[in-house]
Amino acid sequence: MDEKKNRHDWLIAGLQMLSSEGPSGMGIMPISRKLGVTKGSFYWHFKDLKEYQLALIAEWEQSYAQHAIDYMEQMEGDADTKFRFWMMGAIGSDFSLARAIRSWSLSDENVKQVQERVDAQLIDYLAKLLRGIGWSKEDANTLAHWTYWAYVGYATASGPFVAPKQLNLILDILKPK
């Protein structure tokens, strides 16, 4: 067995396990097996499962929200271009990790607090883009909430995907007149 796994390897493996197995797959042994290491490797990097879970959710918060916003901010283009790109990317995403985190947040207060911070951060970013498109602050905040809630619902639904033509209609409606 390869015992040379670092802390980040454990976090990535945990996020992958969470994505595929849900919160119930967050045991030390299943993740150890996934990494091909003994559980001693786990205890080299983490005091216990709770510390690991806190580190895991912090990693998700950073990678899910902040990296996405940083990526968007480095993009060329105006607010409308960025908003369209954000929405196109959102509907084409793999929602399994987002669903698992949201599910986990229903039974773990620490995860719930992080989920709420991520939700607020992404809603604020969407509101910023909508203000850049031309909506007033109040309307942009309302539309950002509505758009984000629609995304959360879409991410949890198992129905058909939105076609580009349908998304373009939605995006055209979200342009101020």
State the DSSP string of 53-70: HHHHHHHHHIIIIIHHHH
Contact 44, 28 (CB under 8 A): no
Q: Are residues 68 and 98 in the same domain?
A: yes
Q: Cα–Cα distance between 168 and 130 in angstroms, integer?
A: 16
Domain extent, residue 94, equals 60-173
The pTM of this model reads: 0.86
Same structural domain for residues 6 and 64?
A: no
Is position 82 within any domain? yes
> In this structure, is residue 54 part of a structural domain?
no
pLDDT in tens, 16-48: 999 999 988 888 999 999 899 988 889 999 999
Closest to 46 (Cα-Cα) out of 10, 4, 3, 2? 10
Q: Could you give the C-alpha distances from 142 to 29, 103, 147, in angstroms and in order?
A: 45, 25, 9
pLDDT tens column, 108-166: 999 999 999 999 999 999 999 999 999 999 999 999 999 999 888 888 877 667 788 88
